[in-house]
Amino acid sequence: MSDPVTPQDPTVTTFAVDTIIKSSYAHYIIFGCAIFACAWAGWCSFMVSKIEVKAEDIKASAEAEEISGGDDCKIGDKLKLPTTSEECYAKMIETNVYIKSGARTFLRKEYTYLAIFCALFGVLLLCTVDMPWKEGNLPVPYTMISFLIGAGTSMLAGFLGMEIATTANVKVTYLCNISRDEGFKAAFNGGQVLGFGLVGLALIFLEIIIISFKPSVMEPLGAEAEQKAIQDQVRMLFELVSGYGLGGSTVALFGRVGGGIYTKAADVGADLAGKVQSDLPEDSPLNPGTIADNVGDNVGDIAGMGADLFGSLAESTCAALVVSSTSWPLLTTPDAVYFPLMVTSLGIVASFVCV
């Protein structure tokens, strides 16, 4: 039996492993932009949170008194709209509390069942993909770990979006009653929290996963190895990292579909009960179903959309990394393989400057 080929064999070309997927400035750009995005999201959240809703500044509409006491209105006697600043303030706070508590209750239930599913799916990945007990496989279940991190980050993105939306809703309504310009600024700041925070969190966790996984995945190659062996190992690294996108997409599926079903059911139910059965106008205060409808808008269009956007960003970036492992020039050129993450990072700066 012949001796195995050694790096000193002149017929074999070997390459230094530590020069593969090397970063000279990419990590600084990615981490810097991601941290800036999270910091800006935190600042926008602070700007929204410090808005105080004051009863004395609310302008009660003169039409409310006419509608509430109008004899010609079918529901005039029952529709007791607030006619003073104090009544408007109390009704705004009461409605916001109902919507916020309803959205939190829904997400708590949804995320409880989703966490159980993700845990079971993680065990499935452990037994079918990672299999650390099998000889020749890596001793750590990296795919399962990246999947759970992606799922957790996606849940966090959806929850943050729902929290800032339900907090900003009543404050935007209050400011629009005083000045539409101020109301628009508050709504814009509330929207930036999810937009910048989502991208920042996605980049930070993805970068940490790559940096953490790389040493142990590339270690079996030693100091030098052949081109094919290096490419196979790098492809394995990014395939393990792709569990991050799978976790985000899994949560996005449940969040988007579950929230969408809820909001549509609430919308249709409120319309059927209000318009058809009781002849009430759209979003009438006499129809309790409008609260469920507004809760559905938050958990479906905001929390679900946040998880969906995160899943799309994570899985598209992971797919680009897997494809890049097939190109030897990309692997040997410093920072080249991190191009998809740098594009997203610079997009943060471009969005901040342009918007």
Sign of the CA dihedral 111, 113, 114, 119?
positive
Phi, psi of 226 (to 5 degrees): -75, 165
Under the banding of pLDDT at 50, 70 and 90, the label for residue 66 is low
Consecutive H or E run containing 99: helix 85-125
Among 143-147, 158-162, 164-168, name the most confident range.
143-147
Among 4-8, 90-94, 234-238, name the most confident range.
234-238
Chain centre distance of CA 228: 37
Consecutive H or E run containing 293: helix 289-298
Q: State how far the Cα of 203 lies from the Cα of 324, in Å rounded to an integer.
A: 18
- The confidence score (pLDDT) of residue 62 equals 61
The answer on pLDDT for 72 being more than 70 is no
Q: How many other C-beta atoms can be found within 10 angstroms of the C-beta atom of residue 261?
A: 13
Under the banding of pLDDT at 50, 70 and 90, the label for residue 124 is very high
Token readout for 273 is 């009960």
Q: 60-64, 291-295, 340-344 — which is least confidently predicted? A: 60-64
The answer on pLDDT for 76 being more than 60 is no
Task: Mark 104-115 as b/e (b = at least 16 C-beta within 10 Å).
Answer: bebbeebbeebe
DSSP string, 304-322: IHHHHHHHHHHHHHHHHHH
Q: Tell me: the pLDDT tens digits for 259-314?
A: 778 877 877 887 777 777 777 777 777 777 888 888 888 888 788 888 888 988 99
Q: State how far the Cα of 173 lies from the Cα of 194, in Å rounded to an integer.
A: 19
Q: How many other C-beta atoms can be found within 10 angstroms of the C-beta atom of residue 79?
A: 18
Q: State how far the Cα of 315 lies from the Cα of 330, in Å rounded to an integer.
A: 20
326 with 231: CB under 8 angstroms?
yes
With a CB cutoff of 8 Å and minimum separation 6, the contacts of 177 are 58, 59, 183
**Residue-range domain boundaries for the chain:** 17-354
